[in-house]
Amino acid sequence: MKPEIPPTNGLALYFKDLNPFNHQQDLASCISALLNIPKPALTCSGTAALIIALETLKELYPQKTQVIIPAWTCPLVALAIEKIGLIPILCDLEKNHFKFDLHDLKQKNNISTLAIIVTHFAGLVYDLTDLKYIAQQHNTYLIEDAAQAMGAKYNHQSVGLQGDIAFFSLAFGKGLTSAEGGILFSIRPELQKKIHKKASKVPMLKDWEFKRSIELFGYTLLYRPSTLSWIYGHHLRKYLKENNEIAAVGDDFNQEDIPIHQLGKWRSHVAAHAANRLPEHWNQAHLQAKKRIEQLRKLPHLTIFDEESSTTATFPFILILAEHKKITDAILAALWTGGLGITKLFVRAIPDYPALKHLHSSVPNAIDFAERSFTITNSAWLDDQNFNKILKTIEMITLQYDLI
């Protein structure tokens, strides 16, 4: 079977990680020490962490019913908000960027706004300085969605310490994994206490835990180029052949896809054991990405998103915006099914997902960003030879666009 490079830089697990007798380290304490953050609550997913965060804030301000989110983000964010009876409010993006359009954000933040969810996309750090001022106008909370950015830093401190509450994801491909899992914490002692109390009351669902444990074993066995086609590449190509991009990238969610249960001890111990390898994993990913971003920047008609001053990114993948949708379409037509780790992060803006079409809103920049953006994996398995194939293909396409 043809090798398949994963679309993101997940941390591979070793079979020794699975041995429950080799380690009994507490994952929450491990992550707290590694990142120098308050000891987090553990959840069954990043989405469950978000739900617990929002439920905590909702109890404090039951009259506030709205949550502002970027109009280009994971559809699970909007679904999670609706699952607990709150209303997602879509904020458009800044033109040619994934940051909020601040004018739109100011208009949509009001006395009914419970929280603004800020996303650290692609392992890059969002500076919350401007957002804090906007949030303060109506006592709105800031939640940092750092699902893609564990290990990233702002002013030499972990992401998640700028806002009021933050969470990481332990889903496949996010870096460290426990076959779904979440890390939830707050720098505010009163909120930290409340989220821990709420997380501790979540039930243990044995069927879900068994399912996730099997998936974690399968990840350990199959997460490598020689076997990844079985669990990823085959399905990707099948759905793309059917012109179903949403299913191809795994964005075909509904509220039934959001179980709420405890993270099992065995899975948390596996993640804790593997976490010892994270610093080196992040360092190698950073070095590789910086080198490749410089190469990509030489190509015309592309914007390559890089870390900003005072930040350090983890780069699970490299996020790119083409000057025109035709360029992105041509690049994906040439590379998406080639097993080289090329894909789209989110294929649609939020109101363009069938399950969320009722959230129709005027968000032209988000729709445009969804159409023109794509990603290149930063997996260590994408060697220089294969990266150069990608580079040459993209160069050929972008140079041809000059001739149109």
Question: How open is the CA angle 88-79-315, to the nearest 5 degrees?
Answer: 95
**In 245-278, which positions are buried (b, 16+ CB within 10 angstroms) versus exposed (e)?**
bbebbbbbbeeeebebbbbbeebbbbbbbbbeeb
Distance between CA atoms of residues 10 and 315, nearest Å: 11
Helix, strand or coil for residue 146? coil
Q: Please, are residues 185 and 207 in contact by the beta-carbon 8 Å criterion? A: no
Asked if 174 is an active-site residue, the reply is yes
Q: Which of 58, 64, 174, 344 is catalytic?
A: 174
Structure-block tokens of residue 98: 């994934």
Per the listing, tokens 């050929």 go with 396
Distance between CA atoms of residues 206 and 133, nearest Å: 44
Single-letter amino acid, residue 232: Y
Q: Please, are residues 346 and 370 in contact by the beta-carbon 8 Å criterion? A: yes
CA-atom Rg of the chain in angstroms: 20
Q: Could you tell me the CA-to-CA distances from 374 to 123, 183, 321 in Å, in that order?
A: 15, 27, 7
Q: Please, are residues 83 and 60 in contact by the beta-carbon 8 Å criterion? A: no
Distance between CA atoms of residues 299 and 94, nearest Å: 23
Q: Please, are residues 301 and 322 in contact by the beta-carbon 8 Å criterion? A: yes
Backbone angles phi, psi at 220, to 5 degrees: -60, -40
Distance between CA atoms of residues 311 and 155, nearest Å: 6
Catalytic residues, which ones?
Answer: 174
